[in-house]
Amino acid sequence: MLKNKSFVKRTRKGNIVRTVKEHYLRDDIVCGYENCQHAVCSEQPKGPLSATPRDSVQWGAHYLVPDTNAFVNQIDIFERPVIDDVVVLSTVLDELRGLSMAVYNRVRAIIRDKDRRWFV
């Protein structure tokens, strides 16, 4: 899906310039949720994220979406088996590859473990 935003701006010299920003959204990627009813997700195999994620009194049922700094500073906590139902963004993996290859390899090893229910 393509979305366009177009602007008309005036430069410092006084010229008028038309600016178009294009934003591409992919609609062929599955969400990873086990009970998703979306048309794209129903055609693919079920995702690894549980239909009943971990529940807490304070936060309720939730999935974890960590950022790069969380992985770099707290990778030991993420390696514990109680941390499951995690969504890892691909941009976070790209940043990890550039920052620390050791942490990147540890995160990839966790993602490969099917029992952990981590989704990229």
For residue 77, give the H/E element and its range: helix 68-78
- C-alpha span between 73 and 35 (Å, rounded): 33
Q: What pLDDT does residue 21 have? A: 84
Contacts 24+ apart (CB under 8 A), 40-49: 47/119, 48/114, 48/117, 48/118, 48/119, 49/85, 49/87, 49/117, 49/119
Closest CA to 75 of 105, 39, 120: 105
pLDDT digits (tens, 9 = 90+) for 12-42: 999 999 988 887 777 666 777 777 777 766 6
Q: What pLDDT does residue 46 have? A: 65
pLDDT digits (tens, 9 = 90+) for 36-82: 777 766 676 666 666 667 666 666 677 788 999 999 999 999 999 88
Amino acid at 34: E
